[in-house]
Structure 1
């Protein structure tokens, strides 16, 4: 059985709507990446050094990241030699297998959110302004509420004008309470109030917004450290997730933001927004491989329910959907 048939079998056990969302959301990346791979494979009679050089360029142009591309190319060369592959058509499966391997990194569930089975789960969101942080919090609140969880929001971004009001709008849309103070208040005090309120109301998940300024890393670090200290004091072991929100359309700039935030806070996962708006979805692999931070959630559209748990198999299927369908019809 080919890798794609195994892949199809695995993802059909998951919701068809999720498969379609990944397929639709990765359309721009697929059209750019797959067309170039298809053209490459059609032009070559055998898998040789020139083939790998062109493949390297295609992967770099998809924002997979130079270090990750070099590692991937080396692994592909070893696999080609091991299997004695001559026909370029066989490279679809080999490339796909390696992409899934790189993402998983030996972890079968790298994308699962750390939701506590008992008691309050605290999820802290970090990221620069304009990446869709507040929208992501609202969408996750909607997703968790639909899964039967009780949710509360903490308006910890007291710095940006309109941030509290924006979170309140999402609170109203989703039907969850927002704990806030006035603009300019101490974010750590907001978190303290939110935790007390969440405990009193037996809330399952508290989603915490934070300021997105990066121009002064020292201040940002001090503020986040204080926020985390207050959370941990009130709930040992919390925050259970620190999710960095990145805009996929910014490409390598998202990578530099990830590096900066990893320096100032213990990021446990990435939320990649606007993945449907970029032709360079390879940034997912670069972040995972070079920073060893899993992408846990992805935004695949603008609707309330377009935030999905990232799934490596769904992702690869979304990249190669046209080839999978063509193979199935043969």
Structure 2
């Protein structure tokens, strides 16, 4: 594998030599990717807090071009499908640069030992777990919405260019990002290295954010994109929340009964059917995306519009005592 020195803003970092790579491998196990737990802040307060966090000083070297030279046609197709989905659902309401930045983060993760070594593995990591999804669109129902033709075509073109070696340099070696109107708990433990549109980008501080850490080889094979999507949607459908149970309990005449795992059974007491019907007919309408506090990704796929400054925060609010990092 050929390496060369990279210079950014007048400062140069050398791509790791053999000794540096060996040292990186000898370090402790790579940190586990943190879930997206955000501080309980109003969007405006989060924007203000984020704007006061300076971009890290020092070198911000661009990643090396990604190569799929050893991958066959089927593997390339799966990787393109997964990367296009991530670019579209995560940054389809951003500029073309915003989409390129997201694609770069995903490919940076493929090279980092903290993450899976395939594109689809990175995109769908944790998508079947309640708090484990790394990219919100894989676990909030966005995948159920049909993408726009034009938006998908643009996302696909950007994803294809990235898989063919195009590098979006401004995000450097970033492996994390979040919207500017939320403050994840992990943000304070990482180095903020770019702001692109409404997204803030970070790399791990210390050794795990340096070029010497990005030593993982691409797997050269991909899991089925359609199977991963189906599994993510099935997990979502079979994941009743306590909030759903509590809401059902508030329906006049409703009784919560036993149901297969992942479902909530609602039965009505016949003596209260009339009262229940009146309650339903008189219930005020509440917009779906507001009722479920939809994520930015799901809200955008439902409306096709850009995010507004007063929208509900992306991610799941943390419970329990505050902490600076996971």
TM-score, normalization: structure 2? 0.26
Question: Per residue, is there more helix in 1 or in 2?
Answer: 1
Bigger relative contact order, structure 1 or 2, given CA contacts below 8 A and separation 6+? 1
